[in-house]
Amino acid sequence: MNTTLTWMPPENAEGVFYTVSYLVYGSDIWHSKLECTNITWTWCNLAHETNKNSTTYGNVTASYLNCSISEISEGFEPYHQTILTPPKINLFSTATSIVINLTHPIVDYFHIKFKYHIYLNGIHIKETETPYYIKEHLDSHTKYCITAKLSVFGRESSMSGTTCITTERGKKHIKPLWLPIVIQLKG
């Protein structure tokens, strides 16, 4: 999961260095983020420092020559403020079915049940807590397109991009051919 603290640089920011520290709610100690000490860019990834169950605060100190100024961010609460992105779709097919496998990095991070909403050719076909689904009884050698979204705590991700697959060719069936037979009787 990417938990990035960003900030706006001051005007004429040439020569300004930034140092980031963080505090997890319930602690009195600010910890330095070593990878974000005396940096010149205006972002710092705090993913490994963020506690998914607590509020985390960031502190950015801007230094120029012998002057420095600090600013503390608003608290970040992962459960409530994480932006839900759509799941990634992987498809496999047989002649009459599609195996839909959905993945999302946030699922492993939070260890809670998410709901997956699966759409076939724009029509909602399944809501499930498992990240896979087999859609059966489809036509062979036919193109099907899948989209999906994720929901949790009353929030939904945006819809994923469309992923399409063509089912495999089925075995050729011999259909009976009925020919009219005209019998003429001569008498």
Q: What is the CATH number for 154?
A: 2.60.40.10
pLDDT in tens, 78-112: 767 777 889 999 999 999 999 999 998 777 666 67
- For residues 91 and 152, state if they share a domain: yes
Chain center to CA of 7 = 24
pLDDT-derived band at 183 (thresholds 50, 70, 90) equals low
- For residues 13 and 35, state if they share a domain: yes
Contact 164, 144 (CB under 8 A): yes
* pLDDT at 49 (0 to 100): 80
Residue 135 pLDDT exceeds 80: yes
Q: Which domain holds residue 112?
A: 83-166
Tell me if 158 is assigned to some domain: yes
- Cα 43 to Cα 29, 38, 52, 60, 164, distances in angstroms: 22, 12, 20, 10, 37
Task: Report the percent of the chain where pLDDT is more than 90.
Answer: 49
**Reported pTM:** 0.62
**Bridge partners (DSSP) listed for residue 121:** none
- For residues 87 and 146, state if they share a domain: yes
**Final residue of a structural domain among 24, 50, 80:** 80
